[in-house]
Amino acid sequence: MPKESILVVEDEEDIAELVNYNLGKEGYEITCAATGEDGLKLARIKRPSLIILDLMLPGMDGLEVCKALRNDPATHEMAVVMLTAKGEESDIVVGLELGADDYIIKPFSPKVLIARIKAILRRKSRTIPTEESCIKIHELVITPGRHEVLHKGKSVDLTFTEFGVLHLLARRPGWVFTRNQILDAARGHDALATDRAVDVQIVGLRKKLGSAGKYIETVRGVGYRFKE
């Protein structure tokens, strides 16, 4: 069974070779680029399933490449894994906010990299519900058209903002959303004006969901996700 294609954008030759070798053993079709400009060009031509992207690249850096990928309809849905020596919490948050699906810090374990790539590609292969699709996950049923949430068949009374936050998280289980992404999704609602307000909404939402509140997980220093 043919494996997906992966584009590796990395200017350090030894790391590019290490990634190429280990992913090649797994059967992935690998293409490499040493600059951000070449990586972006190959992404548009090759249409890979996933891109492994270094941040500190000559010329156009990885953050600029990620931003360009997300702004182009032809590459918008491509999975991006940032692989970088920049390991500060603020760097991770910026990378995820720009649309990276995962963020791996150098030095790294090839086995962990492969496991994360497989997990991302599994998620990407699933159909993400549309804005109006009914979502059935764990013991919850979320119906956007009715603005209705059922927990074990019983209605849960949520505010407009709480419903919006839950719907955002539940549409992509396993995905980590930063507080800023949650703020952006709820833009226009005065209830969410600061990072602290997001945390308050999450606390209230968990309480109202009862035993299902445990599915909203905190990712320390980054944000929140809905458990798969």
Say whether 177 sits in a helix, a strand or coil: strand
CB 79 within 8 A of CB 51: yes
Identical fold for domains 5-125 and 135-226, yes or no, is no
Q: Which CATH number fits domain 135-226: 1.20.1070.10, 1.10.10.10, 3.40.50.970, 1.20.140.10?
A: 1.10.10.10
Global confidence as pTM: 0.61
pLDDT digits (tens, 9 = 90+) for 43-99: 999 899 999 999 999 989 999 999 999 888 788 888 999 998 888 888 888 888 888
Mean residue pLDDT of the chain comes to 87
Q: Is the pLDDT of residue 223 over 50?
A: yes
Q: Directed axis angle between helix 36-46 and helix 62-71, to 10°?
A: 30
Where are the chain's structural domains?
5-125, 135-226
Rounded to whole angstroms, how far apart are CA atoms 224 and 170? 11
- What class has domain 5-125? alpha beta
